């Protein structure tokens, strides 16, 4: 497969889109703002999809391929000829903070010296342990029901937002703790994304009451990504 090569500016555009909440952004709101050449290059690389121009502007959305490309290109050089880098770095640090709090991970574990993993031959024998929660039949059943409910609320479409308040109302027999734990494990397994509502005007009392907290951050939306 041909390796995708982007300019430093185009790479920074992808990093900026990765930390913006929501599946679709308008070109005028993206920093650095993509030029027509940037759009064509990112679309040809299968990293974005570009919709038809509306009154709000040109809608641009990341593809699933963009996430795998990003994971393989974290060390790629970025442009320094823009002021957008500060806001993008702030977005990444905010996401990093939420992840560390949710997973109880120390910053030193991520940024400190990394030891190579042992090979299978070097791994000491361990006493068999109980299966993780995500492998238990009850959890699998809850996750299957959550996925089905989300798709039903989204009209069968993937990557379409579902409000947590609507999901909880659709699954009243699953208690809050069980539903929240299942959603967090689904996010860890890249089955869903949990997002906040960006527009504060949209957030009503029902949304606040239904929010799932990841660290200190409330999440109001579920996206089924696969």
pLDDT band for 124, please (50, 70, 90 cuts). Answer: low
Of 40-44, 57-61, 111-115, the range with the lowest mean pLDDT is 111-115
Of 117-131, 133-147, 204-218, the range with the lowest mean pLDDT is 117-131
- Nearest by Cα to 36 from 53, 54, 19: 53
- Nearest by Cα to 184 from 219, 210, 157, 160: 219
- Nearest by Cα to 159 from 87, 224, 65, 68: 224
- Please check whether residue 164 is in contact with residue 184, taking contact to mean a CB–CB distance below 8 angstroms: no
- Whether the per-residue pLDDT at 56 is higher than 90: the answer is no
How far is residue 75's CA from residue 73's CA, in Å, rounded to a whole number? 5
67-110 per-position pLDDT tens digit: 888 888 888 888 777 888 888 888 888 888 888 888 887 887 77
Query: Whole-number mean pLDDT of the chain?
Result: 83
Listed in sequence order, the residues at least 6 apart from 92 whose beta carbon sits closer than 8 Å to its beta carbon are: 15, 19
Partnered with residue 213 across adjacent β-strands are 218
Listed in sequence order, the residues at least 6 apart from 225 whose beta carbon sits closer than 8 Å to its beta carbon are: 64, 158, 159, 190, 191, 192, 193
Look at residue 2 and give its three-state secondary structure.
coil
Other Cβ atoms less than 10 A from the Cβ of 69: the count is 20
- Whether the per-residue pLDDT at 12 is higher than 70: the answer is yes
To which residue do tokens 């967090």 refer?
184
Partnered with residue 62 across adjacent β-strands are 48
Which uninterrupted H or E stretch holds 205? helix 205-210
Q: What percent of the chain has pLDDT over 70?
A: 85
145-203 per-position pLDDT tens digit: 999 999 999 998 888 889 999 999 999 999 999 999 999 888 888 888 888 887 778 88
Look at residue 128 and give its three-state secondary structure.
coil
Question: What pLDDT was estimated at residue 221?
Answer: 92
- Whether the per-residue pLDDT at 19 is higher than 90: the answer is no
Of 21-25, 49-53, 211-215, the range with the lowest mean pLDDT is 21-25
- Whether the per-residue pLDDT at 129 is higher than 80: the answer is no
Cα dihedral value 40, 41, 44, 48, nearest 10: -80
Question: What pLDDT was estimated at residue 1?
Answer: 41
How far is residue 125's CA from residue 111's CA, in Å, rounded to a whole number? 29
């Amino acid at each position: 497969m041909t390796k995708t090569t982007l300019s430093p500016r185009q790479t920074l555009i992808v990093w900026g889109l990765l930390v913006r909440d929501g599946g679709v952004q308008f070109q005028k709101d993206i920093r650095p703002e993509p030029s027509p050449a940037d759009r064509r290059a990112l679309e040809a690389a299968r990293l974005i999809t570009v919709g038809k121009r509306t009154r709000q502007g040109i809608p641009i959305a990341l593809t699933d391929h963009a996430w795998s490309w990003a994971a393989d290109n974290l060390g790629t050089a970025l442009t320094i000829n823009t002021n957008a880098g500060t806001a993008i770095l702030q977005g990444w640090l905010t996401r990093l903070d939420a992840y560390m709090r949710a997973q109880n991970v120390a910053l030193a574990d991520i940024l400190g010296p990394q030891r190579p993993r042992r090979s299978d031959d070097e791994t000491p024998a361990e006493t068999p342990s109980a299966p993780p929660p995500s492998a238990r039949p009850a959890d699998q059943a809850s996750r299957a029901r959550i996925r089905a409910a989300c798709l039903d609320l989204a009209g069968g479409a993937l990557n379409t937002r579902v409000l947590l308040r609507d999901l909880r109302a659709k699954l009243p027999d699953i208690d809050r703790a069980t539903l929240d734990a299942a959603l967090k494990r689904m996010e860890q397994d890249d089955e869903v994304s949990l997002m906040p509502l960006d527009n504060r005007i949209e957030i009503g009392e029902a949304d606040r009451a239904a929010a799932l907290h990841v660290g200190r951050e409330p999440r109001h939306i579920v996206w089924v990504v696969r």
